[in-house]
Amino acid sequence: MIYTITANPSIDYVLQLDAMTVGEVNRTTSDVKLPGGKGVNVSRILNELALDSTALGFVGGATGEMFENLLQQHQLNTNFTKVSDDTRINVKINAVKQNEETEINGTGPKITADEKAEFIKLLKKVGNGDVVIMSGSLPKNIETTFYLDIAKMIQAQGADFVIDTTGQALLDTLPLHPLVVKPNNHELAELFDTTFKNEQDIVDNARKLLDQGAKHVLVSMAGDGALLVTKDKVFKANAPKGTVINSVGAGDSMIAGFVGTFMKTNDPIESFHIGAACGSATAFSQDIAVKSKIDEVYQAINISQVN
């Protein structure tokens, strides 16, 4: 089973308007409310790929009820821990003619010690053959080591894990041997305080993550495609042609495609192919990609070995 953890989920209130003028009344041309959160995005892609997952996290209040109602539309298996504070609302404003996106993100609920303990109980059943994917921000009073502590716990129980994070928080997880890490090329450069002159520089620094414990390294490079770096080989996926509509969730989609496929096939190359297709398909979609779009993009992606 794949478990996804979204510690601080949200209702994403997405507003579209022609142009936004600060300090004045602005009227939208359309709006939509979506269940938000990086782990939720992962579960939604897994569902499109007909792969089972259970979405975990904290939800509370009237907004928490709305969040769960929105999730029901996607027929996901969930087991959220109920908390007393309200689930947050994030506002995303897309000014079309100005080609600008503005986000206003809520801080989220305060989690009590008892609520946290109740959540941890759910992870006691995780074991051999399971993968836990942790991603997204933390509620304001949860310690910054929350995901790392969970990784240590579920690893001791025999499960694999993925933490979608960057910086020192990512480096701290490497001795625990995460199944995959997925920095983009800019984040990878920042990790090692360097700049890249060419693709080989990217590969060399990705190998540092393998040397420190990661099992697989995915590096997304926007219009230059993506790389999969393993212990002895490097593979590249081209960037398929298409109009980028929504970059939110593309990285989550790539992780979902890779992890879900790897759990099923144990084939890193095919997992990379499907992961790249999921990421691009979401980028080309208004929301998280659907299966038909993933299949379409899959045909436009070629995987080649880098010498």
pLDDT in the model for residue 307 = 77
Shortest CA distance to 135 belongs to which of 23, 57, 39, 248? 39
Q: Tell whether 140 is covered by a domain.
A: no
Q: Which element (helix H / strand E) includes 191? A: helix 185-191
Q: Tell whether 154 is covered by a domain.
A: yes
178 shares its domain with 77: no
- Within 10 angstroms of residue 52's Cβ, the number of other Cβ atoms is 13
Amino acid at 41: N
Res. 285: pLDDT tops 80 = yes
Q: What are phi and psi of 130, to 5 degrees?
A: -95, 155
Distances (CA, A) of 155 to 129, 168, 189, 213, 263: 11, 20, 28, 14, 16
Count of domains in the chain?
2
Segments of the chain assigned E as strands = 2-6, 10-17, 30-36, 53-60, 77-78, 81-83, 88-95, 100-104, 131-135, 160-164, 217-220, 226-229, 234-237, 303-305
16 shares its domain with 50: yes
Can you tell me the mean pLDDT for 76-84? 95
CB 36 within 8 A of CB 10: yes
pLDDT in the model for residue 246 = 76
249 shares its domain with 212: yes
Question: How many C-alpha atoms does 16 have within 13 Å on its Cβ side?
Answer: 11
Residues 53-73 as b or e (16 or more Cβ within 10 Å = b):
bbbbbbbbbebbebbbebbee
153 shares its domain with 179: no
- What is the tens place of the pLDDT at every residue in 9-21? 999 998 999 999 9
Can you tell me the mean pLDDT for 134-143? 90
- What is the tens place of the pLDDT at every residue in 20-45? 999 999 999 999 898 999 999 999 99
126 shares its domain with 199: no
Distances (CA, A) of 229 to 23, 143, 203, 293, 304: 48, 32, 7, 26, 12
pLDDT in the model for residue 167 = 87
152 shares its domain with 218: no
94 shares its domain with 192: no
- Domain with residue 207: its CATH number is 3.40.1190.20
Q: Tell whether 184 is covered by a domain.
A: yes
181 shares its domain with 84: no
- What is the tens place of the pLDDT at every residue in 169-224? 899 999 999 999 999 999 999 999 999 999 999 999 999 999 999 999 999 998 89
Res. 166: pLDDT tops 90 = no
* Burial (Cβ within 10 Å: 0-12, 13-18, ≥19) of residue 237: buried
Q: Which residues constitute the domain of residue 98?
A: 1-135+145-163
Amino acid at 193: D
Amino acid at 31: D
pLDDT band at 136 (very low <50, low <70, confident <90, very high): confident
* Burial (Cβ within 10 Å: 0-12, 13-18, ≥19) of residue 166: middle
pLDDT in the model for residue 216 = 97
- What is the tens place of the pLDDT at every residue in 225-278? 999 999 999 999 999 999 888 777 899 999 999 999 999 999 999 999 999 999
Residues that are catalytic: 252
Res. 56: pLDDT tops 90 = yes
Question: pTM for the full model?
Answer: 0.91
pLDDT in the model for residue 114 = 97
131 shares its domain with 169: no
**How many whole angstroms separate alpha carbon 306 and alpha carbon 199?**
10
pLDDT in the model for residue 137 = 87
31 shares its domain with 81: yes
Question: How many C-alpha atoms does 216 have within 13 Å on its Cβ side?
Answer: 21
pLDDT in the model for residue 91 = 95
127 shares its domain with 4: yes
**How many whole angstroms separate alpha carbon 247 and alpha carbon 271?**
21
Q: What is the rounded average pLDDT for all residues in the chain?
A: 94
208 shares its domain with 152: no
CB 282 within 8 A of CB 256: no
